[in-house]
Amino acid sequence: NAGVTQTPKFQVLKTGQSMTLQCAQDMNHEYMSWYRQDPGMGLRLIHYSVGAGITDQGEVPNGYNVSRSTTEDFPLRLLSAAPSQTSVYFCASSRTGSEKLFFGSGTQLSVL
Amino acid sequence: GNSVTQMEGPVTLSEEAFLTINCTYTATGYPSLFWYVQYPGEGLQLLLKATKADDKGSNKGFEATYRKETTSFHLEKGSVQVSDSAVYFCALRGGGSSNTGKLIFGQGTTLQVKP
């Protein structure tokens, strides 16, 4: 019963490096999304997807890319990391029409 | 635009004390309201929800009532336990939105319960 799985749990990058945060869910959820969590600011939506092949921008999309080639996977790409992207990142999914989001356990990213 | 404001933490209580975490919102239309909880080292979990005015959501001894007249959704529990120590997030989803995941979150309130 894996639910939403995020990897890695921790990552340290240098400014300008690129990386991909992985997210996979095994619940056949149509909807998937990425949030970042910063102290005093709650969670802010980066990108979301309502199904394979469909993605859209959230509140803070700049500096991040996403794609959704399968229902299960929704990777988040940082093309050129910046210190402002130091944060905890959460992936979440839900069934279409459901108001309950299922969250992964998060990825703590530090950009030096 | 839509927004959620929570009381600042941390909130420190003794076991069996009464808990209130304030949450107010700004939204057009008729939003759905939620409380999510984040235990240490874990992702967020839905705690309770209310979808229309005067609805009361409840779960695990926690309650919150959707008050449209005061635009509030305060979280309460009559007797907290050490195991309730966590970060609590108030959130809303705008009325009429078909996108269930586009939640707007408050900044979170840390609760610490001491034995």
Picking from B43, B46, B89, the nearest residue to A100 by CB comes out as: B46
pLDDT at B86: 96
**pLDDT for residue B6 is more than 90:** yes
Do residue B102 and residue A100 have CB atoms under 8 angstroms apart?
no
A14 class by beta-carbon count within 10 Å (0-12 exposed, 13-18 middle, 19+ buried): exposed
Are B89 and B44 contacting, i.e. CB atoms less than 8 angstroms apart? yes
For residue B10, whether the previous peptide bond is cis, meaning omega lies within 30 degrees of 0, is: yes
The pLDDT mean for chain A works out to: 93
Contact B37, B47 (CB under 8 A): yes
User: Which tokens is B49 given?
Assistant: 């929800």
pLDDT at A26 over 70: yes
Distances (CA, A) of B13 to A49, B87, B106: 40, 14, 21
Nearest-CB residue to B89 (from A42, A95, A99): A42
Q: Which two tokens stand for residue B55?
A: 């609805």
Interface A–B counts its CB contacts (< 8 A) at 65
The band of A70, judged by pLDDT with boundaries at 50, 70 and 90, is: very high
Lowest mean pLDDT among A35-39, B38-42, B99-103: B99-103
Question: How far, in Å, CA of B54 to CA of B29, rounded?
Answer: 15
| Nearest-Cα residue of chain A relative to residue B88 | A42
Chain B residues lying within 8 Å of A58, measured CB to CB: 102
- Choose among B36, B70, B37, B65: nearest CA to B50: B65
Check pLDDT > 80 for residue A98: no
The residue-averaged pLDDT of B1-26 equals 93
Chain A nearest-CA distance from B96, in A, is 12
